[in-house]
Chain A
Amino acid sequence: MLDYVTSYLHSDTTPGQAGNLLWALIYIMLIFLGLSVAVIAMNWLERKILAHMQVRLGPMRVGPHGLLQPIADALKLLIKEDIMPAEADPWVFWMAPILVVITAFTVFIVVPFGPTHAVTDMNIGVLFMLGVSSLSVLGIVMAGWASNSHYPLMGALRSSAQMVSYEIAMGLAVVSAVLMTSLNQTGTGTLSMIGIVQAQQAQHVWFVFKFFPLGLIAFGIFAIAMVAETNRAPFDLPEAESELTAGFHTEYSGFRWSLFFLAEYSAMIAVSSIAVTLWLGGWMRPFPTWLSGETWDLVFSLIPGLSFLLLAAIAFLGVIRMPKHPYFRVQTIGLAGFGAVLGLIGLILFVPPVRDRIQDIFWFSAKVAFSMYMYIWYRGTFPRYRFDQLMRVGWKVLLPLGIGVLILTAVAGVWL
């Protein structure tokens, strides 16, 4: 049994390819855990960032600077009464949130956090990710229909039309990125997520900067389509609160509603990681060729630890600036403890073996985090689209642009 456990440690592939189910299970658990923590953190960050964009403070009461607010919210949602409308279709109503959550989490099987840090690597990785994430629209349609109520049904109709339309533009952008893997005489093309990042490594370029405007335009198309695909502002028509109360999940409450919440955020992370893998170089560190060499490798490998130390420093700054009243004593101690944990993580990340292993995961997560920040930024700045404008952008702007980029990429790949 023990040699079965340790046998994977010497292999240089993902556990799925090595055929080691135990390690695959461990990776799945780790990804699940990390994803849950990311969703909780995202909940707090989104409120704080939105608040600061609007010159407010955001959550401040529960825990220091509202750090425990997501946990309080989760508790509230879990102990809330779970209401099912009397006229609802019970089976479909019950299945919809589960389907949405399953699709949102299944996608992460093929997300490559590093050359070997993925549950498995599929020959059809990109196709699998697009396919499974396109199934989440079914959950939304089911939720809207099963509620047997007007606003959810309209939300579901909007959602299905919107997601089917933007999937096409998204697919075209993805195809042009996949096309880039096979160009410049660097071997055959591939659909596998790890293979795509390795192609970027072999060509010494992130695909955003490849064929200069083309990669950037394809990335732009994908970046717009992925916001529409996850029903986020400014494309949040299926759940537009000023028009449809809450859209497809109006009738949901308590635990089922929190499943929708979880699924929305993990779907955002999933599509962001597709974008990062296809265009932003996956787990590669920035400037792999321009700033190459041993010294720069060392400098960049210190950044994960330094960034955690920076977070710890910010936390301690908050401790110093906390009012000195006895009422705030618990909060001050809590924030100091949080800062100490962050600093400890930062120090652990400086230890050489950990430093080498954590590199890939850190850069991948940092790029995904940047993309998530962009999501919040969009929500803070853009007004919501009207439905006909949404359809016009999808069909008359993004689709022809995508086809043009695809053709030009093929031409450039043959001639350059």
Chain B
Amino acid sequence: MQPIATTFFFYFLSALTVLSGVLVITRKNPVHSALALIVALLAQAALYLMLYAPFVAGVQIILYAGGIMVLFLFVIMLVNIEQSQREEQFNKQWIIGLASAIALGALFVFVFAKSKSLFPDRGISMPEGSNTQQVAVLLYGNYMFAFEIASLLLLVAIIGAVVMAKKRI
């Protein structure tokens, strides 16, 4: 099936992503920030689908929206947010931070304007139907070692989280 109305969906989803991103960094209440971030993540999963990456989109929904963000919400509920909401939300050096971030953005704009020819429109066409199989072949073939290292990293993260969060070890 051919994609329909790609232009409309692209602009809609990217506007959703960026607007929720703005909400994430401006809300006082961390729960609202987390919910906005979830919207951003889901919209981004849809963008992955538009880029013919269904497996990454699925992983994004399961791991990010269903796993990591639930962890975030869980921790936000554990810590007391009543007090922090009444305090100042931005730190003292916020002007410098904002200025440098905007400078970074300007740098991006400059690079994109200068190097339009670097990013070709169409590259190789990838059949969506066998995306998962191809990802599996690469993941367990070329990137086998990186895959094992990632599992080690997760083990270290589990141990680290337990050491940090447990009252008495």
What's the nearest-Cβ distance from chain B to residue A133, in Å? 9
* Chain A stretch 89-124: residues in CB contact (< 8 A) with chain B: 89, 91-92, 95, 122-124
Q: Does B58 make an interface contact (CB < 8 A)?
A: yes
Q: Does B163 make an interface contact (CB < 8 A)?
A: no
Q: Does A261 make an interface contact (CB < 8 A)?
A: no
* Chain B stretch 5-24: residues in CB contact (< 8 A) with chain A: none
Determine the residue in chain A with the shortest Cβ distance to B64: A131
Q: Per-position contact with A for B76-113: 1 when CB-CB < 8 Å, else 0? A: 01100000000000000000000000000000000000
Please state if A153 and B77 are interface contacts (CB–CB under 8 Å): yes
Please state if B58 and A164 are interface contacts (CB–CB under 8 Å): no
Q: Does A141 make an interface contact (CB < 8 A)?
A: yes
Please state if A130 and B62 are interface contacts (CB–CB under 8 Å): yes
Q: Does A16 make an interface contact (CB < 8 A)?
A: yes
A128→B132 CA distance, assembly (Å): 13
Q: Provide the main secondary structure of the chain A interface.
A: helix
Q: Does A201 make an interface contact (CB < 8 A)?
A: no
Given A19-B1, A167-B66, A131 and B61 contact (CB-CB distance below 8 Å): yes
Stretch at the interface among A64-72, A155-163, A273-281, A288-296: A155-163
Q: Does A172 make an interface contact (CB < 8 A)?
A: no
Q: Does A138 make an interface contact (CB < 8 A)?
A: yes
Task: Report chain A residues within 8 Å CB of B132.
Answer: 123-124, 191
Please state if A161 and B74 are interface contacts (CB–CB under 8 Å): yes
Task: Report chain A residues within 8 Å CB of B59.
Answer: 127
Q: Does B162 make an interface contact (CB < 8 A)?
A: no
Chain B: interface residue count, which band? 20 to 34
What's the nearest-Cβ distance from chain B to residue A110, in Å? 11
Q: Does B144 make an interface contact (CB < 8 A)?
A: no
Please state if B73 and A138 are interface contacts (CB–CB under 8 Å): yes
What's the nearest-Cβ distance from chain B to residue A271, in Å? 14
- Partner of A141 from B70, B128, B130 at Cβ < 8 Å: B70
- Partner of A164 from B2, B38, B54, B67 at Cβ < 8 Å: B67
Please state if A124 and B70 are interface contacts (CB–CB under 8 Å): no
Given A92-B31, A127-B55, A137-B66, A164 and B71 contact (CB-CB distance below 8 Å): yes
Please state if B67 and A134 are interface contacts (CB–CB under 8 Å): yes
Please state if B1 and A145 are interface contacts (CB–CB under 8 Å): no
Task: Report chain A residues within 8 Å CB of B58.
Answer: 124, 127-128, 131
Determine the residue in chain B with the shortest Cβ distance to A153: B77
Given A18-B1, A142-B35, A124 and B54 contact (CB-CB distance below 8 Å): yes
Given A123-B129, A127-B58, A160 and B70 contact (CB-CB distance below 8 Å): yes
Q: Per-position contact with A for B42-72: 1 when CB-CB < 8 Å, else 0? A: 0000000000001101110110011101110
Q: Per-position contact with A for B118-133: 1 when CB-CB < 8 Å, else 0? A: 0000000000111111
Please state if A134 and B35 are interface contacts (CB–CB under 8 Å): no
Task: Report chain B residues within 8 Å CB of A130.
Answer: 62
Given A161-B74, A188-B133, A127 and B62 contact (CB-CB distance below 8 Å): yes
Q: Does A331 make an interface contact (CB < 8 A)?
A: no
What's the nearest-Cβ distance from chain B to residue A407, in Å? 14
List, sorted by A's number, 8 A–B pairs whose CB atoms are closer than 8 Å.
A124-B55, A124-B58, A131-B58, A134-B61, A138-B69, A141-B77, A153-B77, A160-B73
